[in-house]
Amino acid sequence: MKKILLPNGLTVSEVALGAMNFGTVTEKKEAYRVLDAYLDMGGNFVDTSNNYAHWAGTGDESETLLGEWLRDRGCRDRVVLATKVGFDRHGVGAGLKKAQIEYWIDESLRKLGTDYVDLYYAHSDDPATPMEETMEAFHALVKKGKVRALGTSNFDTWRVAEANALAKAKELTPYTVMQQRFTYLYPRSSVAPKYTYNEITGRERLRFLCDKNMPLVSYSCLCKGAYESPERLGDEYEGGARLAALRELAAEKGVTPSALVVAWLTNIHRLAGYPRVIPLFSASYAHLLENLRGLSVTLTDEELQAMNEL
């Protein structure tokens, strides 16, 4: 798996592994199998949160399991570890106040069994808290060595721009990575996101990221298996001709449609107006291997352009 040097100095694999369900829906033995395989294939970018997966447990399971795996394998120095703060967990924890950020980073470090995380995301915007308070609290974590770099997830682009303008003016650590929903299919504009800032990435966000040289970590990029099973697509995305053409090209390339989406996402930065995109997904062991076949697919400039023009 190729490595990418991000503008913030982190060197990450071209695909990130989501650990959201580890310790709840995905039991420990299978989670270890997936993590081991990902690491063996050259992956190093592992993503979790302080509230995963609270809808199936307490919200502590994912970080706790990852901490056990890092200890058991002795591989902390081989992993770029990302976690998050600011989203709800059983009615508590939502927000980006200084006290919340300070409390939850220590909780995450304790569960993960490490003294620092490589990338710390603000998991969702918090307009009720002064932006300066949030940015100063995050900056303090960087100065203390508890965090190496900062990112946002579920933010409007203008709020990221304002936060980074504030950080520049006050010599604070800026946000340098954005995590947002993004996939090959077009979203239905008439369908509101589940959460206020849980938007699907559109052209304006892509242009913003490209202009700011900020990578996009694309979550929900494989639509929960809908590329193989369109009945799972729901009402958030358009299927139609774009999905049909994707499935046809995938058959020609000898891979699954999901693998072809991985290929498209990791190559789309070659076209004008697109940032570097790092697909983020969780998968069973078998599906992980199948999805990662997309990294060996060759897409010409003409094929990339044709895929975009559908």
In a domain, residue 251? The reply is: no
Tokens representing 207? 């242009």
Once rounded to an integer, what is the mean pLDDT over residues 153-167?
98
How many Cα atoms are found within 13 Å in the side-chain-facing hemisphere of 88? 5
Residue 166's domain is classified under what CATH number?
Answer: 3.20.20.100
Which residues lie below 8 Å from residue 268, measured CB to CB, with a gap of 6+?
274, 277, 304, 308
pLDDT digits (tens, 9 = 90+) for 165-201: 999 999 999 999 999 999 999 999 888 988 889 999 9
Catalytic residue among 38, 52, 184, 274: 52
C-beta of residue 52 within 8 angstroms of C-beta of residue 32: no
Q: How far is CA 280 from the centre of its chain?
A: 5
Does residue 219 have an active-site annotation?
no
In a domain, residue 101? The reply is: yes
**Coil vs helix vs strand at 244:** helix
Q: Is the pLDDT reported for residue 234 higher than 90?
A: no
Write out the residue range of the structural domain in which residue 202 sits.
Answer: 13-236+264-286
Least confident stretch, 117-126, 142-151, 223-232: 223-232
C-beta of residue 274 within 8 angstroms of C-beta of residue 206: yes
If one counts the domains in the chain, the total is 1
Q: What are phi and psi of 157, to 5 degrees?
A: -60, -40
**Coil vs helix vs strand at 122:** strand
In a domain, residue 300? The reply is: no
In a domain, residue 308? The reply is: no
Q: What is the mean pLDDT of the chain?
A: 96
Q: Check residue 223 and give left, alpha or beta (phi > 0: left; psi -120 to 50: alpha).
A: left
